[in-house]
Amino acid sequence: MSTKKRCRCSIVPPHLLDALRRHPDPKVRKIAEATLFLTHAARVKRGILAQGARPPLPTGTLRRTIYDGAQGPHIRGNILRSEGQPLADDRAANDAYDASGDTYEFYRSVFGRVSVDGKGLRLDSTVHYREDPEEPFDNAMWDGEEMLYGDGDGLIFGSFTKSLEVIGHELTHGVTQYTANLAYHDQPGALNESMSDVFGTMVKQWKLNQKVDQADWLIGSDLFLQKGLALRSMKNPGEAYKDVPDLGSDPQPADMDGYVQLPNTRAGDNGGVHINSGIPNRAFYLTCMNLGATHSWEMPGQIWYAALTSRLTANSTFVDAANGTISAARDVAGEGAASAVRAAWQEVRVLK
């Protein structure tokens, strides 16, 4: 079976887990090691899925179901909360329920898109998930069909349900899967990652009604137990964390001069998909600035959404993304907008 078809798209990048494998606390080292390898392990546990456990779904309806992973590799185990039910006695379940609902409502009201597939796909989440029952799971992921959330190690990371942009990021991997279906390696893979950051941060800004100049443009700051850290900065790639003991420094480049060539392997982050994504991330941020946009989800978001859903394809490169968003800008808002988008891609040196 092709491994290209579907990514197991997780939020914590390999380079960060790799740094944690050298952490002085052996507990952190062990968890990072387990998460790094298990996150990428072949999916052999599909058999755990209960046969016929899913009732038929009316399309176009929000249908969230939050299951209990019970600190093991159990997908769709006991239901903690389903659509319309009152608060569960489980914080992670309620957080996953709320954030998947916010993401659904964002896509529906801003882009007229009904769920990740555009046809009302039910939103299933498993919280308290572990791939190895012996080790906490330092990650959240979209596995091609549903969301899986770990509780974190309790030392570096807390629960992975705490961050709205992370949940928006992961569900956007689903949207990409059903639209451009960007391959998960090298430049298409970095675009895949960037689209998830772009729409993930938009979900958060939309929910908080933040203007582009009020937003922090950080991804995953709520995941860290220590304040002042984030996985990535879309405004300043490479500045999300600097010289932090045991974590090192954010390796993201801010423009093509810093583009990192890595092999398309697990150790190489599939060609640096979580590293080079900083370049198109910043192009989106700069587009918001160049357009003088008030809110990211208005004109800038409409342009990026049009590019993702109707202009990009599986093997699109950064230049294709530049041309696709420029052409989308022309269609959405005319030549002035197209020039603003072009200038952003020039600032990150994707275009000359």
Active site residues: 170, 274
Nearer to Zn ion by C-beta: 83 or 117? Answer: 117
Q: Residue 95: which H helix or E strand, with range?
A: helix 91-111
Q: Residue 275 and residue 313: Cα distance in Å, rounded? A: 21
Nearer to Zn ion by C-beta: 9 or 321? Answer: 9
Q: Residue 113 and residue 275: Cα distance in Å, rounded? A: 29
Q: Residue 242 and residue 176: Cα distance in Å, rounded? A: 31
DSSP secondary structure code for residue 147 in this structure = E
Residues 6+ apart with CB under 8 A from 347: 255, 282, 283, 286
Nearer to Zn ion by C-beta: 9 or 99? Answer: 9
CB of 171 to Zn ion, least distance (A): 10
Cite the DSSP H helix spans in 126-185: 164-178
- Copy the structure tokens of residue 252: 């993201």
CB of 173 to Zn ion, least distance (A): 6
Q: Are 181 and 314 spatial neighbours (Cβ–Cβ below 8 Å)? A: yes
Dihedrals phi, psi of 107, to nearest 5 degrees: -60, -35
Residues 6+ apart with CB under 8 A from 38: 131, 132, 135, 137
CB of 134 to Zn ion, least distance (A): 26
Comparing CA positions, the residue from 194, 146, 168 lying closest to residue 312 is: 194
Nearer to Zn ion by C-beta: 9 or 247? Answer: 9
CB of 25 to Zn ion, least distance (A): 26
DSSP secondary structure code for residue 185 in this structure = S
CB of 222 to Zn ion, least distance (A): 16
Q: Residue 79 and residue 149: Cα distance in Å, rounded? A: 15
Q: Are 262 and 272 spatial neighbours (Cβ–Cβ below 8 Å)? A: yes
CB of 200 to Zn ion, least distance (A): 9
207 half-sphere exposure, CB direction, 13 A CA radius: 21
> Bridge partners of 72?
129
Residues found near Zn ion in the complex (CB under 5 A): 9, 193, 196
Report the 10 Å Cβ neighbour count for 294. 11
- Taking CB atoms, the residue at the shortest distance from Zn ion is 9
CB of 251 to Zn ion, least distance (A): 16
Nearer to Zn ion by C-beta: 151 or 165? Answer: 165
Q: Are 65 and 192 spatial neighbours (Cβ–Cβ below 8 Å)? A: no
Nearer to Zn ion by C-beta: 165 or 193? Answer: 193
Nearer to Zn ion by C-beta: 235 or 274? Answer: 274
